Chains A and B, each alone.
Chain A
C-alpha cells in the first residue's frame, strides 16, 4: 500500500506524483437553506448543522436542519405541484424535463464529482467515473419511460402515487438521489427528498440543476437534516409513499412507523454478501472482483462482497494473490486521481468499523492489512482482511460497511451456497467459476436479489437492484423500478394511497388515456 501523496509511488522506477483534482470548479456557499417549492428558504426553527470533509475534518459549510414544520411546507409544496402541474403534464413533457436534468448533470459532471468527493471522502476517480455518469444515465433511462408507462404495466391502467418521501444514504449521495428521483418523476409523482446528514451537498447542488432545467417549483423538494427529519418525512400524513435506502435497522423502524397506514414502502437495506470463488475460477479476474467487491467506495456499499468464500483447494493461492494485489492499493487524498481508497465517511462510521474489526480479532480471526500509512487528519481505516473466519463470528454476520473482508472456506458447491445463504440479508452475491453450468446452478440457489457471476459491483439503470429477506423489498432500476412509483387503477388492493388524498384530478397519466 502506498500513500498516493507520498510520491514514493508504486515503485522506485515509476511512482506517481501527486495528481490532485482542482477544487476550484465548485463554489460552496457558507450556508444552505432548504429547497422548497423551487426556492431556497430558511428553516422555520433556524436549526443548522455542519458538514465536513471526512478526509481532512475541514468544515465545508453549514446546512439547515429541517424540522417538522419545514417538512410539512415541503410536502404541501409537493402536493400543490403534483395536483396543479406535474401529474397533469403529458408523459412526453415530463420526459423532456428529465432529459434536461440528465444533460445538465453531464455538463456539470466535474463540479458534481469534486463536490461529492469533498463531502463524502470517496476517491475522485470513483465519483468521476461511477457516481456522476451513472446518475446522469439514471435520468436518461427513466426520462425515456415517462411517456411509455402503459407498456411497462402490460397495458393495465395505472396512476402515480402522489407525493413521495425519499430518504437516502451517504455512501452514494448523488447516485442514490438519481435512483430515487428519476423513476418517481417519470411516473408523475412529486418528491420530498432527505439526503444523508453527512453528505447533503450534491443534493443541494442538484436543486440548482432543477432550477436550470426549469422544473416546475415543488416537483422536487430537498429537506436536509438528520434522523429526526427523516422520521418527519416518513411519518407525514400527506406523504403517499416512502422510499428508503439505508441501514436495515432504520428500514425496519420506517416499516413500523408506516404499518397500518396503508402507505406503500420500498426499502433497499443492508447486506452481507458472499463472493464465492471456485477452484476453476479465472484467478486474476476473481481477485480483482473480490478487491472491487469489498474495497470499492471504502466498502461503504450495501451490496459489498464482504464475505469471501473460497474453495479450500485454492485458498492459499487466492489469498496470496489477494494480498499481493492489496499492496498496490493506494490510500490517501480522495482528490488525488490515483487514489483507490478514500476516507471513511464519518467519525461515527469509523468507530463502528473499528469496533467490528476489533471484535474479529478478539474472536480469534487473523487480521491482515498491507503496510499502510494513514493520513494524520480525517477518518481513515486501512484495507483489512480477516482469515480463519467462521460463520459464527460477528465479522461474518454483521454488516461492517467498511473496507474489511472476512475470508471463509468451503469444500463443495452445496456448502458454498449454504454458507452464502446463512444470513438474514439477501441483497447480492458473487460467483466465480469458468464452468457455465456451475455458475447457473449456484446463481439459482443464492437467495439474493443481484447475483454477479464472474464480475462484481456492476450497476446499470436498466438492471433491477434490490434484496431478498432483511435486505428490503422493491427493486430500483429497469422496468421493475417503475413498480415502486405506480399504482394500478381500480380498487386499490393494498391501500396504496395514504391519508385519503389520492391522485389529484389530473392524476390519471395522460399516457394511459
Chain B
C-alpha cells in the first residue's frame, strides 16, 4: 500500500545580519491562511531582536552605502533574477497569505519581480535627478548630491505580503540605506522566504533584516531607537501611527507617514527621495 508522502515543513525564522536566528525570546506565533488553516509557526521577534537587527543594519551601512551605485543596482537586479526562479513557491505563499486566486497570486509575484527590476535601475540615476550644480554668486564650485539617510526601519504593509514588502524595502536599500523590516503580521511567510532569497543573493548580510511577530510589540522599539534614521509607517495600524511618529521625534527620524497606497501602481519617486539626504559641497575656484 502506498501513503501520501508527508511534507517536510519549513521552519520560518528571522533574517538578521545575514543569518536565520530564532527569536532570542524563544517565542513563536501561529500563522494561518486567510482561509483559516494553519500554515506555520513564525518567530515572534522581541524588542531585543529588533535591537539586534538595528545593530546589524548599522554595521552593514558603511559597506553598502560605500558601494558604487552601479554595484547596488546589479545586486538588486540579481535578487529579481532569483525571485523569478522561485515564482511558484512565492505564488503559493502569497496565495495563502492574501487569499488570492492562483492567477492573481502569480500576477502579484510577477509585479514584485518587476518592481525590483524597476528599482534596481534607479540605483545609478536617482542622484542625477535629485542633485544639482548650483550657480552661486561667487568663485565657488557648488554641488548638491544625494546620500542615504542611514538605517531605515519599515513596517511592511499588512495586506500586501510580498509586493508591498518589496515596494517599501527596495527603495530603502537601492539608495544605499540599510533596512530593518517588520513583516506583515498576518502574512509574514513571504517575507521570511524573501530573506532566504536575499541570503543566497549578493546582498551583504545586514543590509536587509526581516523581523516577524507582533507589529505593536516590535514597532515601538524601532521607532524609539536612537540609532535609526528613518521610519516607514506604511504598515502601521492607524491607532499606532501617531504614537510611533511621536517616538520617532526623539532623534528626528525621517518619517514616511501611512496613507492609502495602491501597491500595484507605479510608485513614483517619493519612497526613493524620502530616504536621501541632500549634501551640498562648496569649494573655491582659483589658481
Interface residues of A (CB under 8 A from B): 137, 154, 248, 251-252, 255-256, 259-260, 262, 267, 269, 424, 439, 443, 448-455, 458, 460, 462-466, 468-470, 472-473, 475, 478-480, 488, 491-495
Contact = CB atoms under 8 A, between A and B. Distances in A.
A464 B92 CA distance: 48
A453 to B, nearest CB: 5
A480 B132 CA distance: 9
Contacts of A466: 278
A455 B283 contact: yes
Contacts of A267: 252
A496 B259 CA distance: 10
B241 interface: yes
Interface string B253-287: 01011011100000010100000011111111000
A423 to B, nearest CB: 12
Given A454-B284, A493-B259, A480 B252 contact: no
B6 interface: no
Contact of B278 (A137, A458, A480): A480
A479 B132 contact: yes
8 contacts: A248-B252, A259-B246, A460-B138, A464-B278, A469-B229, A472-B252, A478-B144, A494-B270
Nearest to B251: A470
A297 to B, nearest CB: 18
B250 interface: yes
B137 interface: yes
A439 B251 contact: no
A236 to B, nearest CB: 18
B137 A443 contact: no
User: What's the interface size class on B, roughly?
Assistant: 35 or more
Contact of A449 (B248, B252, B259, B280): B280
A267 B253 CA distance: 12
Contacts of A493: 256, 259, 261, 268, 270
B136 A495 contact: no
Contacts of B257: 262, 494-495
A452 B282 CA distance: 5
Nearest to B260: A491
Contact of B134 (A464, A472, A492): A464
B32 interface: no
Nearest to A261: B242
A448 B259 contact: no
Contact of B282 (A260, A451, A488, A492): A451
Contacts of B149: 468
A443 B134 CA distance: 17
B36 interface: no
Interface string B232-255: 000000000110011011111010
B229 A464 contact: no
Given A137-B137, A451-B279, A252 B252 contact: yes
A264 to B, nearest CB: 9
Contacts of B282: 450-453, 455, 458, 463
Contacts, number: 115
A469 B251 contact: yes
A488 B268 CA distance: 11
B246 A464 contact: no
B281 A451 contact: yes
A478 B132 contact: yes
A262 B257 CA distance: 8
Nearest to A440: B281
B251 A424 contact: yes
Please provide the 7 A-B residue pairs with the shortest distance between their CB atoms, ordered closest to farther: A260-B242, A460-B136, A259-B245, A255-B249, A259-B246, A462-B134, A453-B283
B259 A495 contact: yes
Contacts of B144: 463-464, 478, 480
Contact of B279 (A252, A448, A479, A491): A448
B28 interface: no
Given A454-B284, A470-B251, A462 B135 contact: yes
Nearest to A457: B282
B134 A463 contact: yes
B216 interface: no
Of the candidates B129, B135, B249, B259, the one having the most CB atoms from chain A within 10 angstroms of its own CB is B249
B70 interface: no
A214 B135 CA distance: 31
Contacts of B270: 488, 493-494
B140 interface: yes
Contact of B283 (A137, A439, A460, A469): A439
Contacts of A439: 283
B239 to A, nearest CB: 10
A475 B142 CA distance: 15
Of the candidates A424, A463, A491, the one having the most CB atoms from chain B within 10 angstroms of its own CB is A463
Contacts of B279: 443, 448-451, 468
B249 A463 contact: no
